[in-house]
Structure 1
Amino acid sequence: MFQRLFALLALSLTAMSPVLAQEPQMNLQRVRLTAGMYQIDAQVAQQPREREIGLMFRKEMPQQEGMLFVFEEPTTQCFWMKNTILPLTAAFVADDGRIVNLVDMQPQTTNTHCSEAPVRYVLEMNQGWFAKKNIKKGVKLGGAPFETHR
């Protein structure tokens, strides 16, 4: 009886928390963004728990995909890579879509990487994606999230 109860409890905890289960979150809402002539298919991490998990445990991500973290208010945002397997670049993005700064982040580290100014958005892409497309600080991203703040 205790084994069955323990198995049910373990199953419940796994269903409640992708972090406990070490499963990537793959079914978040998506938004289409643009960076110059390039299209980005971004998952949207808007709720606190979604932002906390982010891209943890993802083993691969197509080059045109990323994750857009959305916060309630612009503030200095800091990210780290604990439990994140993929090397990523974070674009810290102002309300109008302007990239404030870009930071390369190494997998499985707890080093903090922060925005140079208060931002509401952070877009994570595979490391090197922005550099290969010559997208730098100051470039404006397009898409629905940034249109409401222009």
Structure 2
Amino acid sequence: MPARARFHFAGFLACLGLFWVVAGGPTGAWGASWDRPDFATSTLSLDRGDGTLLTYRVELATTPRQHAYGLMHVEAMDADAGMLFIFDGMAVRSFWMKNTLIPLDMLFFDDEGRLVSAVEKAAPGSLVSRRSSGPAKYVLELNGGSMQADGIGPGARLRFPLGG
């Protein structure tokens, strides 16, 4: 094989290998690394702000991988279901709806469980960044419209410990 042909063939193999890693390799962008992670579940009690307690069944997102995946590709949730994101410390939190198929309400809570801010009915698939208005440690995602339907408003608080 002439030197020029070997050079082109080597370039072709390099491109093919790169494509395999990105598209279908074991840790590629569409490979196993983006399979849905396992989430622990818990029961969450929420004082809606007027002393009335609400109960939700939530998946717990506690790791960076779980935080990144969240509710992506979920097609439906029960009315009393959601996901609670738990972070190590307080910071302004920012979420988007990429690969999220259902509208969501996002409730941002501080380290004492007090509602900091909320976003209602975030549109599925939107790449708009939705930020908490202040530092938050917890983010609760519920079906879009749950805040209004369940009467959750200013003064809402998470009840601890989780599951009890």
Normalising by structure 1, we get a TM-score of: 0.80
* 1:94 counterpart (110, 115, 126): 110
Query: What SS class does the counterpart of residue 144 from structure 1 fall into?
Result: coil
In the other structure, the counterpart of 1:141 is: 158
The whole-number CA distance in structure 2 between the counterparts of 1:82 and 1:41 is: 23
Give the 4+ runs in structure 1 shifted more than 3 A.
9-16
In the other structure, the counterpart of 2:145 is: 128
The whole-number CA distance in structure 2 between the counterparts of 1:11 and 1:31 is: 34
Instruction: Write the letter of the residue equivalent to 2:40.
Output: Q
Moved more, 134-143 or 75-84: 134-143
The whole-number CA distance in structure 2 between the counterparts of 1:65 and 1:143 is: 18
In the other structure, the counterpart of 1:16 is: 33
Asked if 1:118 is matched to 2:118, the reply is no
Instruction: Write the letter of the residue equivalent to 1:117.
Output: G
The whole-number CA distance in structure 1 between the counterparts of 2:34 and 2:97 is: 18
- Count of aligned residue pairs for this structure pair: 133
Offset of 1:10 from its aligned partner?
4.2
* 1:33 counterpart (44, 48, 62): 44
Instruction: Write the letter of the residue equivalent to 1:96.
Output: E
In the other structure, the counterpart of 2:65 is: 49
Query: What SS class does the counterpart of residue 45 from structure 2 fall into?
Result: strand
Q: Deviations over 1:89-129 (max 9, x none)?
A: 00001111111111021101100111111011100000111
Identity %: 30
Q: Which has the larger radius of gyration?
A: 2
Q: 1:39·1:64 contact (CA, 8 Å) conserved in 2? A: yes
- Note the residue ranges of structure 2 that are not aligned, 5 or more in a row: 1-19, 48-52
CA RMSD of aligned residues (A): 2.0
In the other structure, the counterpart of 1:3 is: none
- Note the residue ranges of structure 1 that are not aligned, 5 or more in a row: 1-5, 19-23
Offset of 1:137 from its aligned partner?
2.6
In the other structure, the counterpart of 2:123 is: 106
Query: What SS class does the counterpart of residue 116 from structure 2 fall into?
Result: strand
Normalising by structure 2, we get a TM-score of: 0.74
In the other structure, the counterpart of 2:50 is: none
